[in-house]
Amino acid sequence: MPHKKLGITLFSLIVLFALALSACGAPAAAPAPAVEEEAPAAEPILEIVGTDQTLSFSMAELQALPAAEGQAGMISSTGAITPPIVHKGISLKDLVELLGGMDKSMGLYVEAVDGYGITFSYDQVMSGDFITYDPVTGIEISVEGPLTAILAYERDGKAMDPVQDGQLRVVAVGPEADNLIDGHWAVKWVNYLELKSVAANWFLHLEGVLTEEMDRAAFESGSSPHCHLKSWTDENGDEWMGIPLWYLVGRVDDEVRHEGRAFDEDLAEAGYVITVTAADGYSVELASQDASFNDEWIVAAQVNGEPLSDKNYPLRLVGEGLSTGQMVGAVESIVLDLEAQPETTAAPETPPPAADPAREMEGDLIISGVVDFVMPFQFAELQDMDVVTINTKHPKKDEMVDYRGVRLNDLLAMAKPRADAKTVKLIASDGYAIEVPLADVLACADCLIAFDDDGSLKSVMPGMDSMFWVKDVVSIEIQ
């Protein structure tokens, strides 16, 4: 027993001695150093590709580069004006310099997250060489101050709207709020740039009431999948892709160049001659009545996804009902003789297409196409449905207006578009037609088929360009 007590006493003394040392400031064992976690790397939002290197940038890295700032605005292909406002970003020129620079044989390809892309020329990148327009009238003007093409990350001191613009958008800034550029250059949702060798620029001469020298880039923008691209397949199975002839005619047939219904259908029905001429002087004359809203007469820049051969480069007129001799290659100009009264110039008539059952049905509005149910509606039936009133602004008007009608989505729900449906085609009584992505319509809760004062129907499309606000709608085709 004594031995046991002695052991306990010794142990107690040791513990007390250790506590005393600690109380007197004796060093205790140092705690293990905290492991400092590395902050996750910022997500790249932009990739730029040169001839021998590829660079990626986060937003913070872009904002650390020298900034360019100024006033920038744009005018859309439908005439909608976005007034100049202060934008800030990094110039395309500075980004190109990071890749070692570019020469006049090169272009800068700019691509958005949705795949839309366009190539900027050497002069546009290096010296801001853009066609400019008056910010009030939309008329083409010349400006003295230099423009600078930038990849903007701020507008009016705030980050770009991630939904409307994405984090980055191309604009051309200047020192004053005195000009606009064409909207097709103002690429939004940009995430990729690449230096490329480019083919020589070319111009398509358009002449009528107005005159326009449409350059390669403007044509390529207009024939993008998100714009006016149409295709036609010939008897050999070759697919030709480009812009419908009537759309190009509509840019110069009267004083209205950019509006959604720029093509003057009344003038076309009255009749005039459209002369399409090749670089070697060969030309054909076509009747305006035959070209009117004809999506199967195409001025093509590609065949089977590739540029045209030397024989037809850069453009060829092709389409259903044209003879081989009328399909002009190496197109250089399209000129309207508004005084001439032509005869119908199409090739011998082909058998008419089979009747569309939807067209056989009676109704003031018919919904047909890729749907489970073809739906004819009388005006009175629509008025007896769930009618709503919305207060909104037409794109071409300043005041808010009440519109009364039936929600477009309610009508589509009755027809039941099938899973493979992609677009909604609104068709007016005069043949005017415009396609809207089905997804955009489904996302538009306030889009209406509205009642007009004259007893007709019209589409009311809040948030969309004026071309989609169609008067006297008689048919909706789901495609």
Q: Which of 368, 380, 378 is nearest to 412 (CA)?
A: 368
Q: Which CATH architecture has domain 46-197?
A: Alpha-Beta Complex (3.90)
CA dist list (Å): 127 to 70, 88, 172, 442 = 15, 17, 10, 42
- Report the SS3 class of residue 192: strand
Prior bond to 314 cis, omega within 30? yes
Distance CA 212, CA 205 (A): 6
Count of all residues that appear for the chain in the document: 479
Within this chain, domains 203-337 and 357-478 share the same CATH topology: yes
- The reported pTM is 0.51
Q: For the segment 176-218, what is each residue's pLDDT rounded down to a tens digit?
A: 999 999 888 899 999 999 998 876 678 999 999 989 898 887 7
- Report the SS3 class of residue 10: helix
Distance CA 147, CA 124 (A): 9
Tell me the average pLDDT across 16-45: 52
The CATH number of the structural domain formed by 357-478 is 3.90.420.10
Tokens representing 305 are 């996804």
Q: Given this model, what pLDDT does residue 358 score?
A: 41
Q: Given this model, what pLDDT does residue 162 score?
A: 87
Q: Given this model, what pLDDT does residue 351 score?
A: 41
Q: For the segment 284-303, what is each residue's pLDDT rounded down to a tens digit?
A: 999 999 999 999 999 999 99
Domain definitions of the chain by residue range? 46-197, 203-337, 357-478
CA dist list (Å): 437 to 70, 188, 242 = 34, 18, 19
Q: Which of 4, 7, 5 is nearest to 15 (CA)?
A: 7
Fold adopted by 203-337: Sulfite Oxidase; Chain A, domain 2 (3.90.420)
DSSP structure class, residue 367: E
Q: For the segment 217-258, what is each residue's pLDDT rounded down to a tens digit?
A: 778 877 876 667 899 999 889 999 999 999 899 889 987 665
Q: For the segment 350-387, what is each residue's pLDDT rounded down to a tens digit?
A: 443 333 444 345 678 999 999 888 888 888 889 888 89
Under a CB-based contact definition with an 8 Å cutoff, are residues 149 and 93 in contact? yes
The mean of the pLDDT values for the chain is: 83
